[in-house]
Amino acid sequence: MTLSRTKLGATGPEVSAFGLGAMGMSGMYGPADREESLATLHAALDAGMTLIDTGDFYGMGHNEVLIGDALTGVPREAYQLSVKFGALRDPAGGWGGYDLRPAAIRNALAQSLSKLRVDYIDIYRPARLPAGTDVEEVVGTLADLVKAGYVRHIGLSEVGVETIRRAAAVHPVCDLQIEYSLVSRGIEDEILPALRELGIGVTAYGVLSRGLISGHWQGTQGAGDFRGASPRFQGENAAANLALVEALRKVAEARGISVAQAAIAWVDAQGADIVPLVGARRRDRLAEALGAADIRLSPDDLAAIETAVPKGAAAGERYPAMAMADLDSERKAR
């Protein structure tokens, strides 16, 4: 199969209808397999998946180096790189806040260009904009990098309506990367209408809620899997959420598709301006996810899916409390 293409927002590039989220290839879900990761990246490109999303802090830079290796010899115009920056890590793998000073942004970009072995980044975005951040300064710095040719488009991540409007007043923003799935629908009330008003697209991560609604997760995670600290994967929350998955499984089976395909197709059906990011790190999971691109859900299908997993039904927050505090997108509601 070959994925169709779509324009990312009014000012963004033309990208594949689905994008590949590469975070899991750098150990966030437990040990990573380099050869399988490279094979999965190549399979994604072969299927017409042009948008690859990463962060300079994924695996302490491992993810960017891996992607750079995979893209060696691939024509630069054949793919788009979306890179998040700003998150600080320590040698033990811990998190240390965010550095969004102009000099830090330029330094981060220089390192990403080197690790990815490219001359420009297609979409460059701060990973988070904590309370008190001078949004205008951050976007102004990115605008200078666009003007210099090192960045093609500016994106945002996990920010709310006020911040989106402030950013867009400084420079065109092509997309907002934000969690959106059957069990994370917080963008629908205010954020999504504002994005559509401004002509800003959505790259939706967490479409399977980190595997929670994939139909494959069985209630446990191993060493090195960051889901062990996620409220939705713990105790009574996990049991309640797995019950939702079983309800979704019945709908999916009746439709002749997998649970993961039902969940991804649901996101895909929410608008042509929404590009699902598939977080596959194995070829079989990628193939399953790509199968959702050919699924057209009818109004009855959509209604059955939403009956199985009603809006707001998920148990537990989508991040631990400390990480939730960094989400500008959640600030007004909290």
Which residues are catalytically annotated?
58
Residues listed for the chain: 334
Q: What are phi and psi of 293, to 5 degrees?
A: -65, -25
> What is the spatial distance between Cα 143 and Cα 141, in angstroms, rounded to a whole number?
5
User: Cα 250 to the chain's mean position, in Å?
Assistant: 27
**CB within 8 Å of 106: residues ≥ 6 apart:** 141, 145
Position of tokens 């800003």? 200
> What is the spatial distance between Cα 135 and Cα 76, in angstroms, rounded to a whole number?
30
Bridge partners (DSSP) of residue 20 are: 52, 278
Q: Cα–Cα distances in Å, from 165 out to 78, 134, 145, 158, 323? A: 31, 13, 20, 13, 23
Position of tokens 């998955």? 245
Its sign, for the CA torsion 290, 82, 72, 89, is negative
Specify the DSSP class assigned to residue 212. T
Q: Is 331 left (phi over 0), alpha (psi -120 to 50) or beta?
A: alpha
Bridge partners (DSSP) of residue 95 are: 89
Q: Is 312 left (phi over 0), alpha (psi -120 to 50) or beta?
A: left
> What does R_g of the chain's alpha carbons equal in angstroms?
19
Q: Cα–Cα distances in Å, from 251 out to 56, 210, 263? A: 38, 21, 11
Tokens of 334: 């909290």
Give the H or E element holding residue 89: strand 87-89
> What is the spatial distance between Cα 26 and Cα 23, in angstroms, rounded to a whole number?
6
